[in-house]
Amino acid sequence: MDKQMLLEDHIRKNKLDTVLICMFMVVLLFSVIFAIGYILGLPPIFAMAIGLPISLLYLGVTYSFSVQSVIAASGARPANPQVREEKLLINKVEEMSIAAGLPMPTVYVQDSHDINAFATGKKPEKAIICATTGAIQKLNSEELEGVIGHEMSHIQNRDILVATVTVAVVGTIALLAEIAIRSLFFGGGRGNKRDNGGAIILIIALVFIILAPIFSRLTYLAISRRREYLADANGAYLTRNPEGLALALEKIKNDLPDDPKGSKTVASLYIANPFKREIRNSIWSTHPPLDERIRRLRSM
Amino acid sequence: MELLLWAIILLVVLIVVILLLVFWGIYNRIIRSENRIDNAWAQIDVQLKRRADLIPNLMESVKGYMKHERGTLESVTNARAAIMSAKSPQEANNANNMLTGALKTLFAVAESYPDLKANQNFLQLQDELTHTEDKISFARQHFNDSVLSYNNTIETFPGNFFAHRMGKKAREMLQIPEASREVPKVAF
Query: CA separation (Å) from B173 to B28, B47, B84, B151, B159?
Result: 22, 18, 22, 10, 19
Residues of A196-208 as b/e, b for ≥16 C-beta within 10 angstroms? eeeeeebeebbeb
The region that residue A128 occupies, defined by phi over 0 for left and psi between -120 and 50 for alpha, beta otherwise, is beta
Residue A79: the pLDDT is 94
Residue A189 has pLDDT above 70, yes or no: no
DSSP state letter for A120: E
pTM of the model: 0.81
CA dihedral B43, B46, B51, B54 (to 10 degrees): -150
Nearest to A88 among B138, B183, B188 (CB): B188
Question: pLDDT grade, residue A187 (50/70/90)?
Answer: low
Residue A109: strand, helix, or coil: strand
What backbone phi and psi angles, to 5 degrees, belong to A130?
A: -125, 135
Give the least confident one: A51-65, A100-114, A200-214: A51-65
Residue A8 annotated in active site: no
- Is the ipTM above a cut-off of 0.90? no
Residue A67 to residue B56: CA distance in whole angstroms: 43
pLDDT of the residue at B176: 66
Residues in A 185-244 with any Cβ partner in B closer than 8 A: 239-241, 244
C-alpha A213: how far from its chain's center?
17
Establish if B145 touches chain A: CB-CB under 8 angstroms.
yes
Across the interface, whether the CB atoms of B138 and A96 are under 8 A apart is answered: yes
Q: Region A117-135: what's the mean pLDDT?
A: 90
Hey, is A110 helix, strand or coil? strand
Choice between A28 and A6, residue whose per-residue pLDDT is larger: A28
Residue B85 is given by DSSP the state T
- H helices of A40-158, in order, are 44-74, 84-100, 133-138, 141-156
**Mean pLDDT (whole number) for A99-109:** 93
Coil vs helix vs strand at A128: strand
Task: Among B142, B181, B185, select the one facing A141 at the smallest CB separation.
Answer: B185
pLDDT in tens, A202-259: 888 888 888 888 988 888 888 888 889 889 988 998 999 999 999 999 998 888 666 5
Which DSSP letter does residue A41 get? T
B133 contacts B50 by C-beta, under 8 angstroms:
no
In this predicted structure, what is the pLDDT of residue A195?
60
- Of residues A86, A143, A145, A151, which has the active-site annotation? A151
Cα–Cα distance between A94 and B152 in angstroms, integer? 27
Tell how many helices (H) and how many strands (E) occur in chain B: 6, 0
Distance CA(A177)–CA(A167), nearest Å, equals 15
Q: Could you tell me which of B181, B41, B183, B64 has the C-alpha nearest to residue B115?
A: B64
Identity of the residue numbered A229: Y
List the single residue in B with minimal CA-CA distance to A146.
B183
As a whole number of angstroms, the distance between CA A175 and CA B105 comes to 66
**Pick from B43, B139, B181: which is nearest to A240 by CB?**
B181
The pLDDT confidence band at residue A25, using thresholds 50, 70 and 90, is confident
Give me the tens of pLDDT residue by residue for chain B, a chain 188 residues long: 788 999 999 999 999 999 999 889 888 888 988 999 999 988 888 888 888 888 888 888 888 887 778 888 888 989 899 888 888 777 888 888 889 889 988 888 888 888 888 888 888 888 888 899 899 989 989 999 899 889 988 888 888 888 888 888 888 888 766 544 443 333 33
CB contact under 8 Å between B142 and A98, yes or no, is yes
Separation of alpha carbons A128 and B40, rounded Å: 22
A101 min Cα distance to partner chain B (Å): 6
Distance from CA of B126 to the nearest CA of A (A): 13
- Per-residue pLDDT at B124: 84
A280 touches chain B (CB under 8 A): no
